[in-house]
Structure 1
Amino acid sequence: MVAQNSTPSTADHASATTAEELPVVNAEMATPSATDPNFGKKTADNVGIIFAALMLTMLMSSLGQMIFGSALPTIVGELGGVDQMSWVISAFMVTMTIAMPLAGQLGDRMGRKWVYISGIAIFVIGSTLGGFANGMGMLITGRAIQGFGAGIMMISSQSIVAEVVSARERGKFMGIMGGVFGVSSVLGPVLGGWFTDGPGWRWGLWINIPLGLLAIIVCAFVLKLRVGEQGFKGFDWMGFAAIAITTSTLILLTTWGGSEYEWTSPTILSMAAVVIVGALLTVFIESRASQPLIPVQLFKNRNMVLTTLAGTVLGLAMMGVLGYMPTYLQMVHTLTPTEAGLMMIPMMVGMIGVSTGVGFIIAKTGNYKYYPIAGL
């Protein structure tokens, strides 16, 4: 969710600036270029079908984050490895975080359609592997693959909206997508509990297979987007490596600190040093790269910085609650998995209603400044 609120701003900004540089292979399939007088003012004719496909994959990726909150105690009881329990969620988040900037850059260079479809395919593969897991290690591997696909799907779906929807109407569509995330946040714990109490927690992964295949078919025929020719030529591999190492180490640091290792242990202190050095190295590399993965100059924009910070606060608060509250309710208050999932509904009712409503208000009025402040 951090990236849902922050990274797409980067990707959308990058899409707008990079669209001038990428040649259009099929003019009939292309969205308007940045030099077109109608750029940002016209919405694609088939936006309804496109948006339905995008919402389906957004639902899949966000469900992937939420569905195991209420199933974790049962999974640990069946597969063992209680000391690895947090990795079922953390592995997903690590690879999703790594995939987001990569997907944004590749979408700018190659066009978003096949990057997006590839993300769906990766997500389905990870879901299949995790569903057949016979040990915690195999489940975590499947979740890591699934998270990588989810990161590509999440960033690409929002970037595609920026390509096919006019700038004025994006608030409305983004508000609906926020509502979809809220729905999945309700369905995730509830479905996780229902699968666990009923057919089994593995169906929380297997259900993605038919949904993913349906989404691939729809996107292959419906999506008609700009196509780029740059490919991997001049790709910022150094920046990608620095970002991947830094973010992975940061997540490991916060996962292991105080549980696997003492905060003052050499392992944790070494990881903290890697995070600091990695962050500085990332800034150094990205500020000098000809085509940076994350353009440093974006952070000179005050709105970009403020929305990123707000998204980070929101992500920390919301993901922490959604990820671990169902487990807490089961282990401390002895609720069933289904009951623990249902206890999350009041939070989601507020999220869905406000997210959708505010999106329509912003689309109608064009004013957006005060809503993030009120929300925080």
Structure 2
Amino acid sequence: MTDLPSGAGAAAPPPPAAPEMTHREVLQALTGLLLGMFVSMLAATVVSTSLPVIIHDLEGDQAAFTWVVTATLLTTAISTPIWGKLADLFNRKLLIQLAIAIFVLATAAAGFSQNPETLIAFRAVQGVGAGGLAALSQVIMADIISPRERGRYMGLFGAVMAVATIGGPLLGGVITDTLGWRWNFFVALPFAVVALIMLQRTLHIPPRAKRTSHIDYFGIVLLSTSVALLLIWVTLAGDSFEWWSLESVLMVGGALLGTALFIVVELRSREPLVPLSMFRNRTFTLAVIASIATGIAMFGASVFLSQYMQLARGATPTEAGVMTIPMIAGLLVASVGVGALITRFGHWKPYLIAGAIALSAGSYLLSTIEYDTHFALVSVYMFLLGAGVGTTMQNLVLIVQNTANPTEMGVASSGVTFFRSLGGTIGVAVMGAALAARVTELMDDRRDALMAALAGLGEQGVDIATQLQAGTLPQVSAMPEVVRVIFEDVYAQGISQAFLIAVPFAVLSLIAIVFLPNTPLTRMTTSERQRAGEADLATVSVDEGMQALTATGSAHDDGAAQQPEATRDDRD
């Protein structure tokens, strides 16, 4: 037998394809993942309605309220691409268990906070775990469910989202009104223990080939520094220092310099944190642009709608949880319904365009609300915004996973999630700064009316005036009617202006989605695509080897054919 030329047989045969998972096996694998997502969402939403009360009790101001939210979003945004890169290098099952542990322990620790600064610090640690859950859940889903079949299981995720996002605020309101707000931070602990056990028992991810790992530590530091400087500047400018000042120049300049250095490092890194080559993919780039607006709408709505209900409509935490149900209903109906339609018909683009239109309309309409706007209209506006978020949020990740290189699935998925979180973080910071500035301006205009109202309340008026002078966020539901109307009007105008900031980004999202390539969804999971790619590579290697062997044989035959001619020439 003739030996193959050197290098022709270098490629090992592809590993045998694993049998396709049945519906029951997929459900078993998703059990722990769904419970882990439920834990993270419950721990986040259960606190949302009680945040105004928490900040009031801890004697924090509007800036503290914004930073309690922004700190979590900041560390979520920064850690998401890091978790995504780790998912391409290490055991994904172990990573998601670690993320749950970090998230819930930090959440429980936040329950012991005695001042806004401590709460903000623990919420920042909480965001590290949240980044892991956001990135890893998407990557693991791609491991076991194909893009085309993903919608079939969106009903389960929709049910989990519904229970957590509807039940969380309601539960948080009841706990705050009965037991006290600190218990909101402890309610997720038993669920977390069960989630860790279920993940260990039910989640079985197809094995992947081992590869040499390298962490881009310098890139992590530069990314964290750049994002943090930008957010600190947005939050403090106009309050602690002027927009045009030396502090602004240093912070913005530092953020721009850090971003430039980050790009240089990523271009030169052996294992970049965010591979910039992915931006050559038109689908990835446009999905990132669209995700920024989705993040602003999603996080902005969750933060400022709760404030609107309590500060502009005088609702208690429990009532605020009930009043935000229309938005959650829109999110649930859209995510489940659109997911099922995508699986059934295979078309995704018309639904995403419709979702972006709903997102734009909902954002604009919410920018028109006042303290006495009929609640039926507010409910319609919230439903539209929720439907827009529910349609675009998960499906933008889905279409990126559909075209991403299987070996970069972690960084591709986390890349979209990162920019969504980053957009939400910056959006909440900008909206919070605009709200604080507008409220300050309006309170100055209404100072005489407010002082007259407080003067007629005696000792109660003195207590309220003392809290306002200290900058403490007011508890509007507990105020007398004569004062409450003033605060409701002021905060309604401030919050409506904050929502106006989200409108241009929502329109930009619509434009980006319109230009997304309409690539059909594959029926192969990430693992199957990777095995198919390895099989193709092995086939190409064997074909090249056979071609080389054929060429060698042809040359030998030509030499043999020419040999008799040479012999005859010699004889002659």
TM bucket, shorter chain: 0.7 to 0.9
Between stretches 208-217 and 168-177, larger displacement belongs to 168-177
Q: Which structure is larger by alpha-carbon Rg, 1 or 2?
A: 2
Counterpart pick for 2:128 among 128, 132, 148: 148
Alignment pair present for 1:239 and 2:239: no
Q: Secondary structure at 1:68's aligned position in 2?
A: helix
For residue 113 of structure 1, report the CA deviation from its aligned partner. 0.7
Q: Secondary structure at 1:46's aligned position in 2?
A: helix
Alignment pair present for 1:57 and 2:36: yes
For residue 41 of structure 1, report the CA deviation from its aligned partner. 6.7
Structure-1 separation of matches of 2:18 and 2:237? 48
Structure-1 separation of matches of 2:136 and 2:52? 33
For residue 246 of structure 1, report the CA deviation from its aligned partner. 2.0
Task: Report the CA distance shift for 1:227/1:274 in structure 2 as closer, same or farther (over 3 A).
Answer: same
For residue 36 of structure 1, report the CA deviation from its aligned partner. 6.4
Structure-1 separation of matches of 2:211 and 2:23? 25
Task: Report the CA distance shift for 1:352/1:133 in structure 2 as closer, same or farther (over 3 A).
Answer: same
Which ranges of structure 2 fall in alignment gaps of 5 or more residues?
1-13, 357-572
Between stretches 243-252 and 358-367, larger displacement belongs to 243-252
Q: Would the aligned equivalents of 2:154 and 2:340 in 1 still touch at CA under 8 Å? A: no
Per the normalisation by structure 1, the TM-score is: 0.83
Query: Deviation per CA, 1:130-180, whole angstroms, max 9, x where unpaired?
Result: 112222222222211111111111211111111111232123335653564
| 1:194 match | 174
Structure-2 separation of matches of 1:331 and 1:52? 39
Q: Would the aligned equivalents of 1:66 and 1:188 in 2 still touch at CA under 8 Å? A: yes
Alignment pair present for 1:74 and 2:56: no
Structure-2 separation of matches of 1:187 and 1:270? 44
| 1:355 match | 335
Structure-2 separation of matches of 1:127 and 1:279? 31
| 2:236 match | 256
Task: Report the CA distance shift for 1:190/1:39 in structure 2 as closer, same or farther (over 3 A).
Answer: same
| 2:276 match | 296
| 2:140 match | 160
Query: Deviation per CA, 1:247-306, whole angstroms, max 9, x where unpaired?
Result: 222332333344444322332332222222222222221122111111111111111111
Between stretches 168-177 and 275-284, larger displacement belongs to 168-177
Which ranges of structure 1 fall in alignment gaps of 5 or more residues?
1-34
Give the counterpart letter for 1:54 in structure 2: L
Instruction: State how 1:318-337 maps to structure 2 within 5 Å.
Output: 318-337=298-317
Task: Report the CA distance shift for 1:131/1:230 in structure 2 as closer, same or farther (over 3 A).
Answer: farther
Counterpart pick for 2:252 among 272, 275, 292: 272
Q: Select the structure with the greater relative contact order (CA < 8 A; seq sep ≥ 6).
A: 1
Per the normalisation by structure 2, the TM-score is: 0.56
Structure-2 separation of matches of 1:60 and 1:184? 8
Q: Would the aligned equivalents of 1:42 and 1:166 in 2 still touch at CA under 8 Å? A: no
Instruction: State how 1:43-122 maps to structure 2 within 5 Å.
Output: 46-82=25-61, 83-122=63-102
Query: Deviation per CA, 1:103-141, whole angstroms, max 9, x where unpaired?
Result: 111111012011111001111210221112222222222
Structure-2 separation of matches of 1:39 and 1:303? 29
Structure-2 separation of matches of 1:81 and 1:315? 26
Instruction: State how 1:155-234 maps to structure 2 within 5 Å.
Output: 155-174=135-154, 176-177=156-157, 180-181=160-161, 183-225=163-205, 226=207, 229-230=210-211, 233-234=213-214
Query: Deviation per CA, 1:40-88, whole angstroms, max 9, x where unpaired?
Result: 9756852212223222222232334433332122112322232422221
Task: Report the CA distance shift for 1:273/1:132 in structure 2 as closer, same or farther (over 3 A).
Answer: same
Task: Report the CA distance shift for 1:184/1:45 in structure 2 as closer, same or farther (over 3 A).
Answer: closer
Task: Report the CA distance shift for 1:253/1:372 in structure 2 as closer, same or farther (over 3 A).
Answer: farther
Aligned length: 341
Q: Secondary structure at 1:291's aligned position in 2?
A: coil
Between stretches 144-153 and 130-139, larger displacement belongs to 130-139
Give the counterpart letter for 1:92 in structure 2: T
Give the counterpart letter for 2:77 in structure 1: T
For residue 38 of structure 1, report the CA deviation from its aligned partner. 5.5
For residue 330 of structure 1, report the CA deviation from its aligned partner. 1.2
The alignment-based identity, stated in percent, is: 35
Structure-2 separation of matches of 1:255 and 1:301? 34
Q: Would the aligned equivalents of 1:65 and 1:92 in 2 still touch at CA under 8 Å? A: no
Structure-1 separation of matches of 2:209 and 2:305? 44
Counterpart pick for 1:285 among 253, 259, 265: 265
Structure 1 runs of 4+ off > 4 angstroms? Answer: 35-45, 227-231
Q: Would the aligned equivalents of 1:120 and 1:212 in 2 still touch at CA under 8 Å? A: yes
Task: Report the CA distance shift for 1:174/1:242 in structure 2 as closer, same or farther (over 3 A).
Answer: farther
For residue 196 of structure 1, report the CA deviation from its aligned partner. 1.2
Structure-1 separation of matches of 2:221 and 2:19? 33
Give the counterpart letter for 2:26 in structure 1: V
Alignment pair present for 1:134 and 2:147: no
Structure-2 separation of matches of 1:200 and 1:185? 20
Structure-2 separation of matches of 1:369 and 1:175? 20
Structure-1 separation of matches of 2:211 and 2:125? 26
Task: Report the CA distance shift for 1:177/1:285 in structure 2 as closer, same or farther (over 3 A).
Answer: farther
Structure-1 separation of matches of 2:318 and 2:113? 23
Task: Report the CA distance shift for 1:370/1:63 in structure 2 as closer, same or farther (over 3 A).
Answer: same
CA RMSD in angstroms, aligned pairs only: 2.4
Q: Would the aligned equivalents of 1:250 and 1:272 in 2 still touch at CA under 8 Å? A: yes
Q: Would the aligned equivalents of 1:61 and 1:154 in 2 still touch at CA under 8 Å? A: no
For residue 221 of structure 1, report the CA deviation from its aligned partner. 1.9
Task: Report the CA distance shift for 1:169/1:184 in structure 2 as closer, same or farther (over 3 A).
Answer: same
Give the counterpart letter for 2:47 in structure 1: F
Q: Would the aligned equivalents of 2:47 and 2:185 in 1 still touch at CA under 8 Å? A: no
Task: Report the CA distance shift for 1:257/1:49 in structure 2 as closer, same or farther (over 3 A).
Answer: farther
Q: Secondary structure at 1:86's aligned position in 2?
A: helix
Give the counterpart letter for 1:335 in structure 2: A
